[in-house]
Chain A
Amino acid sequence: MAFFTITAFLAGLALAVIESTFMRAVEFASVRPDLAVLAVTVASSRTHFGRVMMLAFVLGFSRDFISGGAIGMNAFSLTFMAYFLALTQDYLLTENWTAQLFVTFVSASVFGILFCLLKITLQYEPGSGYHIVKTIILTSLYTSALGPPAFKLIRKPNAPLYQRLKLKYDVEHETIPESKV
């Protein structure tokens, strides 16, 4: 877990640097796709709960180094978002592109809403309501557009989903899924 955490932290730093530099090339209407959200969403479909939570926390924490605001804001929002994803993963299998699009859009929206709420709570200037709503929706749309390609790219070809494997394992060993306990 320590190795995973360090790797995730370094990857998070690299991701944050990429977001702050290269992603400007694909900026559209002052909105960029959220790579950290995308990474956590894709990872949630291929690894277990603990890792997803840790990944979300570490990615958010490393992003906090570069982004403005208080340290921990991204970590907080991403962790909550990962928890939300973990809850939905028990009911939704992201096996087709529609589900992937939907999950990415919802998770990006959740992250945006949480981040805005946190910003307001910490008494940062939130900006106009129109701007907030526009940014959340456009960012979510943009991120969700990258969802299916990211799922396809990161997952190995013809590899079944983690959830599917887990379900199969649970059925074969006649155990009750842990989330249902």
Chain B
Amino acid sequence: MKKLISVLIIMLLALFTVGCIEKVDNKEVTIDENQVESNDVQEQVTDNTKFVSFKGEDMEGNEVTEKIFSENKLTMINIWGTTCPPCINEMPYIEEINNEMKDSGFELIGVVAGGKASKIDAEDIFNKLDLHYRNLLLDDKYLMALKVQYVPTTFFVNSEGEILGEAHIGAISKEEYLEIINGYLEK
């Protein structure tokens, strides 16, 4: 029995060690603003600083592509799930943020996980919470390309379609969002 335990423990340790070493080699999706200028970016197979090109619909059925980023100085993409309580809980106040900041060249755009399959539930939730910001239905393959695994995840994108800073995982307070937004708008 002791042998079995030792073998199992060694296997577990090996698994974790190899896992950690592998992770160091992985290029992380989130890239600092500073690296945009460096040459390294061009050498990457996928351009990680640019938000993935996409084609999807908004809730009214209009086609939407990455061109929407050019409509605003700063776009906040909030990826949420219809069964995710932290996502739902922050939506009322990010709606407020959208209302307060939209005259400053800012727009909040929601993206619901599950895309078209979640449309009815998403509409239901938007009605219940009296939300009016734009919400997109994108195929999950775009979320996978962005390496989004958790909800809520929030990206800030400039008018050139480049992701600013890191993806924000988890819900944060209204004040923290405003701080980040004002920080980006000032640049």
* Chain A partners chain B: no
Identify the B interface with A (CB < 8 A).
none
Q: Which residues of A contact B (CB under 8 A)?
A: none
